[in-house]
Structure 1
C-alpha cells in the first residue's frame, strides 16, 4: 500500500508544465506502508520511438509507429522533423496516446530546431539537417547548452558541412545544408555519449557514399544503444557491418518504410521494479519483450544482486522483493559496472542508498554529461538526506547511513526525480522538487506511481485525454 500526501496529475506531457493552477510546490513522495501487488503498463520506449521517427522521416514511403511514446522528448523530435519537411499525423488512439503516421517529404532548411533537453534531438537531427537545403539553427533549454556536442559539430565539419558554433562545441549552433552529404571515412571520439555514433549511423544510408565510422576514444559508453540503432536500420533493409569493435560500415541506399510496434520503455520500468525491493511484495511490468536491445533488460540480472527474485512469463516481468526494506529486509551492498546501462544508475544508486552494506557503482563517468551531472547530483541529494556518497573517477561509492526526509532537487532531470521517489518509499517526508520533469520521457509517472502501484493498470487521470 502507498500513502500519497500530494499529487499533481494535471500537467501537459509535452511541456512538463501544469495545465491548471501554477505549480504549488514539491511533490511529497508516497511512503510505502505494506507490500505491493502491482501490475504496471509502461508507455513506449523513448529510445526506440525517436530512432524510428528519424528513420521514418528518411524512408522511401510512409511508416506507422504503433504505441509510440508521447512525451516532451518525442514531441520535440516530431516538431524537429516536421520543421525539416516530414509530415507526421496522429493515427489510431491507444492507452498512452495515438499511433503516429510519418510521411517523408523533401528535406528543407530555413528552420529552427528546439532541442529542449533531449540528447536524441540535439545529436540525431543535425546529420539529418545536413541533408536538407538551406540553414538550420539549433538551440535548447539552458541546461542543454552544457551538454557535450563538439563531437557532432566536428564530425559534420569533417564531412564537409558548414557549421557555425562560435567555437563553443555546444548549443546554440547552426549549419547550412547543401541537400546532400558525401559521407565516406570518418573518425570520432564518442567517449561522452553513444548518441554521437547513433546520430551519424541513422542518417548514413542517405549519404552518397554511406559511412565508414570509427571510434578512436578509449571508452565507448552504452553499447546497447548503438546495437539498438543498428537493429532498427537492419529492420528497414539497410546494410550495416561492424568489422571490429568501435567500427561500423553503413552502405548507401534507401530506408524502407515500416509499420512498427514500439516496445515499452524498460528503463522507465526501473523505478517501478525497484519499488518491490523497497516496499516488498511484487511488481509486474506488462509487455516485457522476450528479446530486446533496450538496456532496461539488464534489470532482470541487476535486481537479483539486491536480493530480488525475478521471473518472466506470458510477456511480463515480475520482481518479488520479499518483505522489502520497510518489512525488515536488509539489502546487500553491490559492486556493479554499469558502463552498458548507465541510464539505470539513478535507480540502482537509490537502492544502494537503502542497503545495509557499502556499494560501488562504476562505469558511469559519462553521466556527468547527461541532463545534469548525475554523479554530483546523486551524491549531493543522498548526502543531504543523511547518506554518504563519494564521487569516483567513473562512478559513485555509497556508504550505508540512516536517511531522513527533506527536499530532493531534480536538476531538470527526469531520472533524478524518479530516484527520489524510490527513496521516498522507505523514507517519510522526501519532497521531490519538481515531479513534472518526468514529462521528458514518462509524463504519466506520478499517476502510475500513486495509482498503478495501488493496483490500477493505467493512470488515474489520463494526461493525453484519450481514455
Structure 2
C-alpha cells in the first residue's frame, strides 16, 4: 500500500472537527519538544554521569525512545515534583512537574527496539546500538520499512559497524554492537533527511576517533534540526566544529570526549503550536502560547514570520507568544526547505486564503510519515480545494471548501491540518485523530479546550 491509498469500506474512528463559533481567544500550553526530548535522552544516555530532563514530552515517539534505551541498559526514572500555580499544565508535560532522571550504564544486547514510525528513533539509535555489547534488532510500523535509512546504515558500516539489513537500506535490521566504534571521516547523502547527520553527531563523542561527517548530495533539508543537535552537543560538553560557526560548508566534526550529565528543561514544541496559531489566523482571533523561547533552534519559530506574512501579527513577551489574526488570510510564496514539518498546517491555512500560495523546497516530505505532498493535495481537493503537486512542493489556489472525510494516513500533522480546516468549514471529519499522540498527547482535548475558552465568558454572562 502506498502512502496515499485508502482502504475500502467504513472509515475508522472519524472525529468531527469542531466548528468555531467565532474568533478564538485562548491561551494554549503546548507540551515539550519531541526533537529536544529525544536528543536529550540520547545525550543523557551516553553521558559520564546521571542527568535530568525536566518537562519532557510524553508521547508515542518519546516513549519509544525511552523504552529502547532501557532495553539497552540505560536507567530512566520518572518522577513528578510539586506543581506551582503558574507551572505548565499541558498533557505531555505533567503540569511542568514531570522529570526524567537518566542513569547511564554499559550498553548491552541482545535487545529489540520498536521504532514505531519515529524518524528520530529509527535513525538516532543505530549509532548508539553500535556502541552496545551484543546484537540489537530494529523493527517498527509497516511505514517505517518504507522510510529511508540507507544514509545511517552506509555511514555506520564505513565507520566500522556490522549491520544486517538484507541489502534493503531500511528496516527491519540488526546492528551487531561491538562495544565500541572507531569513527573517523565519513560521507553521507543526507538530502532525504537531516536526521542522517544528527544521528552520527549525537553518538560521535563516544566514538574512538570522534567523527567527521561530510554531506554530499543535494541541499540539506531541515538545517535548524542539525543546529539544534550541535547546540545540544556543545551544552553537554562536546567539541563541535560546524559550518554555521565558520567551519567548512557541509562538514561537521565532533571530537571524542566524555559528555556531561545535564539538568535540561525542555522547551515547548513550537511546531506543535502551529495548529493553535493557525486557529487565531483563520478565525480572526487571538492565541497565546506560554513560555515561547526568545532564542531557539526549533524550526517552529519560523511560524512567527510565516503566519505574519499570511495576515496576522505577533508579540513575544515574558509570558510567551501572542498571535492575532485580522480576519483576512493572504496567500504566500514560501521556501519551506528548512521547516518542512510546518507544511501541512501552512497548506491548510493557504487553502482558506484569498489568494494563491506556492510552497516549495519540500520534495523530501514525500519520504516522511506518509507522502505528505500527495496526501495534502488529495485530501484538500476532496473537500473542494484546488491543490497541485509540483516537483518540489504544492500550488494552492483557494476554492470554497465543503465537509467530508479527511484521511490522515497515520500522520499526526495531517490530522492537525484537517482540524484547522474544520474550524471554518462545517462537516469535516478527521480519520484517526488519535494518530496525533505521536507527538501531541490529547490533541482533541487541547483543541476543544481552546474553543471552550473562547466561549466561556459568553456562557457566564
Residue number in structure 2 paired with 1:52: 40
* Equivalent residues of 1:85, 1:106 under 8 A apart: yes
- Please give the TM-score of this superposition, normalised by the length of structure 1: 0.90
> Of the candidates 266, 291, 298, which is equivalent to residue 295 of structure 2?
291
Shift of 1:25: 2.9
Superposed CA deviations along residues 292-348 of structure 1, whole A, max 9, x for unmatched, are 0000100110001111011111131011102x3xxxx3x221100011100111110
The CA distance in 2 between the partners of 1:279 and 1:52, in whole Å, is 36
Superposed CA deviations along residues 250-296 of structure 1, whole A, max 9, x for unmatched, are 00010100011000000000000010111121001001001000001
* Equivalent residues of 1:36, 1:454 under 8 A apart: no
The CA distance in 2 between the partners of 1:170 and 1:239, in whole Å, is 31
After TM superposition, list the pairs within 5 Å mapping 1:281-320 onto structure 2.
281-320=285-324
* Equivalent residues of 2:340, 2:365 under 8 A apart: yes
Partner of 1:432, secondary structure, is: strand
Residue number in structure 2 paired with 1:26: 14
Residue number in structure 1 paired with 2:73: 85
Residue number in structure 1 paired with 2:450: 452
Superposed CA deviations along residues 38-88 of structure 1, whole A, max 9, x for unmatched, are 001001000000000000000011111000000000000000100111000
Shift of 1:24: 7.2
* Equivalent residues of 1:139, 1:171 under 8 A apart: yes
The CA distance in 2 between the partners of 1:313 and 1:205, in whole Å, is 37
The CA distance in 1 between the partners of 2:24 and 2:401, in whole Å, is 22
After TM superposition, list the pairs within 5 Å mapping 1:70-149 onto structure 2.
70-93=58-81, 95=89, 96-97=93-94, 98-149=98-149
* Equivalent residues of 1:40, 1:453 under 8 A apart: no
Partner of 2:221, secondary structure, is: coil
Residue number in structure 2 paired with 1:183: 183
The CA distance in 2 between the partners of 1:348 and 1:80, in whole Å, is 33
The CA distance in 2 between the partners of 1:26 and 1:254, in whole Å, is 50
> Of the candidates 270, 273, 279, which is equivalent to residue 277 of structure 2?
273
* Equivalent residues of 2:20, 2:451 under 8 A apart: no
The CA distance in 2 between the partners of 1:101 and 1:299, in whole Å, is 32
* 4+ residue runs over 6 A deviation: none
Residue number in structure 1 paired with 2:357: 359
After TM superposition, list the pairs within 5 Å mapping 1:233-244 onto structure 2.
233-242=233-242, 243-244=247-248
The CA distance in 2 between the partners of 1:24 and 1:183, in whole Å, is 47
The CA distance in 2 between the partners of 1:71 and 1:263, in whole Å, is 15
The CA distance in 2 between the partners of 1:388 and 1:306, in whole Å, is 18
How many pairs are equivalent? 428
* Equivalent residues of 2:49, 2:103 under 8 A apart: yes
- Please give the TM-score of this superposition, normalised by the length of structure 2: 0.91
* Equivalent residues of 2:24, 2:450 under 8 A apart: no
Superposed CA deviations along residues 218-252 of structure 1, whole A, max 9, x for unmatched, are 21000000000000000011000022221000000
Shift of 1:128: 0.3
Superposed CA deviations along residues 91-124 of structure 1, whole A, max 9, x for unmatched, are 2246333211100010002001000010000000
Residue number in structure 1 paired with 2:156: 156
Aligned Cα root-mean-square deviation (Å):
1.2
The CA distance in 2 between the partners of 1:387 and 1:73, in whole Å, is 32
Q: Identify which range, 23-32 or 237-246, moves more after superposition.
A: 23-32
Q: Which runs of 5+ in 2 are unaligned?
A: 1-10, 84-88, 455-461
Q: Identify which range, 86-95 or 337-346, moves more after superposition.
A: 86-95
* Equivalent residues of 1:237, 1:255 under 8 A apart: yes
Q: Identify which range, 25-34 or 120-129, moves more after superposition.
A: 25-34
* Equivalent residues of 1:289, 1:315 under 8 A apart: no
Is the aligned partner of 1:387 residue 2:385? Answer: yes
* Equivalent residues of 1:33, 1:279 under 8 A apart: no
> Of the candidates 359, 366, 369, which is equivalent to residue 367 of structure 2?
369
* Equivalent residues of 2:12, 2:432 under 8 A apart: no
